[in-house]
Amino acid sequence: MSFPVRKSLFVGIAGMSLVGTVTGCAPSAQAPVAPSSASSTGAAAGGAPIAGTGASSPAGSDYKDGTYSADGNYVSPNGTETVGVELTLSGGAVSGVNITQHPSNPNTRKFQGEFAGGIAAQIVGKKLDELNVSKVAGSSLTSGGFNQAVEKIKSEAR
């Protein structure tokens, strides 16, 4: 009679352990990560600003305020990878960032997730022209795709 209770208790504890593990790996609230199968940007192809954004920025800024998105590519040992980047600009500076993962395998998922969890701390508050990341939270290759996407965003935000 006690066997079903133990089995239920084990399944419950194992499930809670899995939830704790997954929750512990989540990126920070400052850099939310969209599911890899869908983009959360809502932007038009080519990095166009999201509808309702792209307002004029204060004098002295080369970029229009708004939210912009673009994809960047980089080469990993597993081949060409893609990472989606959404930046919100205010006064020519980054006020928000969102990374959309497009992993082709578990290793890429791991590194893009680490990158997404650490990028906000490195770029929020910086001027768009100052962005050029090389390594974020142990992920160095994802930075190449990020920097490529930033260049596309610069073109769109002018």
Contact between 36 and 103 (Cβ < 8 Å): yes
pTM: 0.65
SS3 of residue 34 by DSSP: strand
Fill in the DSSP letter of residue 52: T
- What is the distance between the alpha carbons of residues 144 and 111, in angstroms, rounded to a whole number? 13
Contact between 95 and 67 (Cβ < 8 Å): no
Domain boundaries, the chain: 29-157
pLDDT tens for the 158 residues of the chain, in order: 444 444 443 434 444 443 333 333 333 333 343 333 333 333 344 444 443 344 444 445 689 999 999 999 999 998 999 999 999 999 999 999 999 999 999 999 999 999 999 999 999 999 999 999 999 999 999 999 999 999 999 999 99
Contact between 115 and 123 (Cβ < 8 Å): no
With CA atoms as reference, report the closest residue to 83 among 129, 124, 115: 115
